Structure 1
């Protein structure tokens, strides 16, 4: 069994909780309010900037030239997603990013940046993978079950589409390649990082659904 298959198998309870979360169930049914979706979009825009920074940091750690380029391309893709998908919705709703990071977004992005900057290359790669992989799986799930004429179809098309699938496949392949060349102890650290990011994916969606704010 590939290392990433083991990772995915181990987070199934987390993934099922993500699918069953009211945010994603209402999203799938087309009943998620625009207010909630707009809150999510703003937080996601803030998230993607730091996600791109984390990808660039990981790329800088690679000793393989084409991997450096690949992670920089991932980072560029994250920014392109923010400028494309998000700006299209922002224009439609006549909104802008006028809020700070909510606690859930702040926690997730700081975990990714700290791991990318301070932890080994292998561990950082594993921490970044859930953002690719879980989003693809959620996008596919929603796309397969969504109502016709979905109000957020552009989001579904992006995350269930072929271009994003190619990026996910590349990220999975890199993780498997790195895991095969490292030690059992490091693979345990990779698994721990992957699991933590998967939990924080749930936290991010819950944060948007709850309109999470700082208590003080």
Structure 2
């Protein structure tokens, strides 16, 4: 679990992380992630990605808010409510720097698919499954950001240093560890069927993360209409 905030888990998170090793290796190998790390990523592709991320985070914040509503205790409620607010703040800070005209973009098919999946889980499934579906966005971004920072070293002059710094940040690592702690605690009291659904949700959301970055590299659009 190199580059990871979560090194203590011996429960759900450890098992889910191991089970998705192939998907995560595929993410690491994506041209978008490789060129993001070395700074050679085309600025148009990055702007497209951040526009899609703006659309995504709007709905991800709603899913986090749903987790707050479903939370079984006040501490988890407060954490997910704060995380929903933070998602919007991150969106505003990063995206105003790199995206000149958000109106020039529309939600990609992959963005629609991923957010529809998360909101579907938020509105039709239980707390345990929702937590598992929300976790990859935290954990994969923290892992990628931390390892890109380690590879880049000094971010001064890096065209995407603000993005890398955001997700390699210690506060974001603490938030990731907190979601993992919640997932482990929730899974520990889950029945076998619920635990299976948690693993399925984690794997599905991890796959969507791969698709999201791949779509950004291709600047995915919709087929011609009419």
Quote the offset at 1:48 in angstroms.
0.4
What is the alpha-carbon root mean square deviation over aligned residues? Answer: 1.2
- Structure 2: distance between partners of 1:161 and 1:198: 21
- Choose the corresponding residue for 2:19, options 4, 7, 10: 10
Quote the offset at 1:30 in angstroms.
1.0
2:55 aligns to what?
46
SS in 2 for 1:169: helix
2:114 aligns to what?
108
Q: Which runs of 4+ in 1 moved over 4 A?
A: none
Shift in CA distance, 3/9, structure 1 to aligned 2, threshold 3 Å: same
Quote the offset at 1:95 in angstroms.
3.3
2:104 aligns to what?
98
1:82 aligns to what?
91
Residues 141-191 of structure 1: CA deviation (Å, up to 9, x unaligned): 211112753111000110001111111011111100100111122111000
The number of residue pairs the alignment matches comes to 213
SS in 1 for 2:69: helix
SS in 2 for 1:18: helix
Residue 192 (structure 1) aligned with residue 200 (structure 2): yes
SS in 1 for 2:41: coil
Gaps of 5+ in 2: 1-9
1:177 aligns to what?
185
Deviates more, 1:24-33 or 1:197-206: 24-33
2:148 aligns to what?
142
Shift in CA distance, 161/147, structure 1 to aligned 2, threshold 3 Å: closer
Quote the offset at 1:62 in angstroms.
1.7
- Structure 1: distance between partners of 2:103 and 2:33: 22
SS in 1 for 2:104: coil
1:125 aligns to what?
131
- Choose the corresponding residue for 1:34, options 43, 53, 57: 43
- Structure 2: distance between partners of 1:98 and 1:75: 26
- Structure 1: distance between partners of 2:144 and 2:51: 19
- Choose the corresponding residue for 1:23, options 18, 32, 51: 32
Partners of 2:48 and 2:105 within 8 A in 1: no
2:6 aligns to what?
none
Gaps of 5+ in 1: none
